[in-house]
Amino acid sequence: MRILLLTGRLAEPAVHAAADASPPQYDVRVLRMPIDVAALATPKSIASYLKKIRLEDYDLIMVSGAIQGSMKPVEEAIGVRVVKGPKHAVDIPLLLRRLNPEKLSPDIPADILLIEELRRNAKEILSEAERLAFSKVHICIGGIDVPADPPPIRVISEVPEAHLLSEEDLIKAAGRRIEEGADIIGLGFQAGAAHPDKVRRYVRLLKDEYDSPLMLDSVIPGEIIAGVEAGVDMVMSLEAGNIRRVADKVRRTPAVVIPYDSRRGLFARTAEDKLRLLERNMKLAQRHNIEYLIADPVLEPLNPAGPTGTFESLRAYHMLKQRMPDVPLLMGLCNVAEMIDADSVGVNALLTMLAAEMGVSLLLVMDKSVKAIGSTSEAKISAQMAAIAWRKKTPPKDLGLDLLILKDKRMIDVNLDIEGAEAIEAEGKGGGHPPDPLGFFTVRVNHEDGMIEALYKGVRGKLLIRGRRAISIYDEILRRGLVSILPHAFYLGVELGKAEEALRTGKSYVEDESLFERARPIDPSG
């Protein structure tokens, strides 16, 4: 297919680079219109310009997706198909690799069509994985099929230290995790202290409130028994010291077995010890007729200083899967994600992909610390990416689903017409503005409610303006006439923009402080 890319003067270098990087099955050429910015062209001007060239040389003409108006009148005027490409030239090669040009539209920008196509394809793959789950060797947890050979990978999101929460807060915490994509809700209680009455009450409370399967995380026999009697769908963890005491109650409840022996205070650390103790505990559970077993070799925190740690744990997962291919594996991501000062999104994504490679069926996450907030959705999206990549037999890239939050895959340059412009270096550090006679604002981010809040105090009274976007709050401020000097308006716009980014990324917002600071390595010689 012979494709002509129409562009303006400023974007011409980027469009030529995109043409050179396009798939070889397409003959892609570039033509510059007599205009600086292609997005400012009109259908009428495009048609007028195209009538001056040899149109029979092309099967398809692609214009910038940023151009306003339909290209149908252009098609009718010149007799050649004219479509909208992506808004940014850098996306043209990916577009031509992933989408048949015949599917492009004269009305809808191609990047929108590409996203829709990728998402539609991703949804079909995920639906197929769900349909196939039942046909594989699997266990059922509260109505959800968990195959021993994923995908799909199921995500358990645990509410830790539930005994410290009120009933209202517990319901809210569980609901948030369900909204973020959790397949199963976990309940964790105080380590080393039994709360069987609270376990029983909280399990029943959540079972009445939500349809989501419920997991109890405890090694205390009294709590495990209370949870099963209250209707919990899954328990963790069984170990050498509690199996005999709970076996009669958990016989038909899916149960996670770990490499631990509370009688001897033994928690296996090396891969070989983990497997040895875990297999022993699994056999003990089987002898006591516990039917639905899940194995958890336990993922240890990163430990660069010693022989045990995350890599050693991953060895145990890999070895166990080879020995017990029909047993579902569970991996808790929190030991690693919580114990490294790095953004949880990348940590959870990488661990999930490694878990997928090793055939792990269940992921356990919790957002106990501030930096781990969002782990549920991160693990869920990662699990879906793993399923799509598995089906496509490709690395988890260009899937229609991603976890690119703080960085982009490609750089989009905005070209400026700077010829003849005087260059001025802005070196001022800011530092405030004269008081606005109408009053002042205090801005904060309410992460719990998902809102930006701007509190006004001044001659118009005291007002709390709330919204999810900076522009909506700023429009309300202007509508009410709450600012009267430009420096105050500029300053407020900057702070509201920062607050919106903090809300979207989960960062803390502090007035006059940067949201992001790039870390720098230490120079040991200095």
The CATH number assigned to the domain holding 71 equals 3.40.50.11600
Q: CA 101, CA 63: separation in Å to the nearest integer?
A: 13
Model confidence at 199: pLDDT above 90: yes
Max CA distance (Å), the chain: 88
Q: Find tokens 């992921």 and name the residue.
A: 363
Closest to 364 measured CA to CA, from 517, 506, 156: 156
In a domain, 62, yes or no: yes
Confidence at residue 133, expressed as pLDDT on a 0 to 100 scale:
93
Q: CA 505, CA 370: separation in Å to the nearest integer?
A: 12
Q: What is the mean pLDDT of residues 88-105?
A: 92
Q: What is the mean pLDDT of residues 93-121?
A: 92
| pLDDT digits 0-9 by tens, 21-57 | 999 999 999 999 999 999 999 999 999 999 999 999 9
Residue 179 three-state SS: helix
In a domain, 210, yes or no: yes
Burial class (CB in 10 A: 0-12, 13-18, 19+), 353: middle
> Who wins on pLDDT, 398 or 475?
475
Confidence at residue 508, expressed as pLDDT on a 0 to 100 scale:
92
> Who wins on pLDDT, 155 or 414?
155
Residue 522 three-state SS: coil
Model confidence at 415: pLDDT above 80: no
Confidence at residue 431, expressed as pLDDT on a 0 to 100 scale:
62
The CATH number assigned to the domain holding 195 equals 3.20.20.20
Write b or e for each residue in 59-88: b if 16 or more Cβ atoms lie within 10 A of its Cβ, otherwise e: ebbbbbbbbeeebebbbebbebbbbbbbbb
Task: Please check whether residues 238 and 100 belong to one and the same domain.
Answer: no
What are the residues whose beta carbons fall under 8 Å from the beta carbon of 73, sequence distance 6 or more?
43, 44, 47
In a domain, 126, yes or no: no
Task: Please check whether residues 18 and 146 belong to one and the same domain.
Answer: no
Task: Please check whether residues 36 and 184 belong to one and the same domain.
Answer: no
Give the structural domain span for 444.
Answer: 439-505
Residue 103 three-state SS: helix
Structure tokens given for 177: 């995790």
**Count: domains in the chain:** 3
What are the residues whose beta carbons fall under 8 Å from the beta carbon of 230, sequence distance 6 or more?
199, 200, 201, 203, 204, 207
Confidence at residue 235, expressed as pLDDT on a 0 to 100 scale:
98
Q: What is the mean pLDDT of residues 140-162?
A: 97
Task: Please check whether residues 286 and 199 belong to one and the same domain.
Answer: yes
234-238 and 461-467 strand pairing: unpaired
Write b or e for each residue in 386-408: b if 16 or more Cβ atoms lie within 10 A of its Cβ, otherwise e: bbbbbbeeeebebbbbebeeeee
In order, the DSSP letters of 92-157 are: HHHHHHHS-GGG--SSS-HHHHHHHHHHHHHHHHHHHHHHHHTTSSEEEETTEEEESSPSSPEEEE
Task: Please check whether residues 387 and 459 belong to one and the same domain.
Answer: no
Structure tokens given for 393: 């037999």
Task: Please check whether residues 228 and 91 belong to one and the same domain.
Answer: no
Mean pLDDT value across the chain: 94
Last residue of a domain, one of 337, 365, 392: 392
Radius of gyration over alpha carbons of the chain, in Å?
Answer: 29
Confidence at residue 519, expressed as pLDDT on a 0 to 100 scale:
86
Q: What is the mean pLDDT of residues 394-419?
A: 86
Task: Please check whether residues 378 and 248 belong to one and the same domain.
Answer: yes
Confidence at residue 430, expressed as pLDDT on a 0 to 100 scale:
65
What are the residues whose beta carbons fall under 8 Å from the beta carbon of 113, sequence distance 6 or more?
99, 103, 104, 105
pTM for the full model?
A: 0.89
Model confidence at 410: pLDDT above 90: no
Angle, helices 271-287/310-323, rounded to nearest 10 degrees: 40
Task: Please check whether residues 356 and 264 belong to one and the same domain.
Answer: yes
Last residue of a domain, one of 52, 84, 119: 119
Q: Detail the DSSP E strand segments found in 98-183.
A: 138-141, 144-147, 154-159
| pLDDT digits 0-9 by tens, 225-270 | 999 999 999 999 999 999 999 999 999 999 999 999 999 989 999 9
288, 242 Cβ separation under 8 angstroms: no
255-257 and 260-261 strand pairing: unpaired
Q: CA 313, CA 259: separation in Å to the nearest integer?
A: 11
> Who wins on pLDDT, 95 or 307?
95
Confidence at residue 419, expressed as pLDDT on a 0 to 100 scale:
83
Helix, strand, coil tally for the chain in percent (to 5): 40, 15, 40
Task: Please check whether residues 384 and 261 belong to one and the same domain.
Answer: yes
Q: Detail the DSSP E strand segments found in 10-137.
A: 27-32, 60-63, 82-84
Burial class (CB in 10 A: 0-12, 13-18, 19+), 7: buried
In a domain, 510, yes or no: no
184-188 and 154-159 strand pairing: parallel
Q: Detail the DSSP E strand segments found in 56-106.
A: 60-63, 82-84
Model confidence at 357: pLDDT above 90: yes
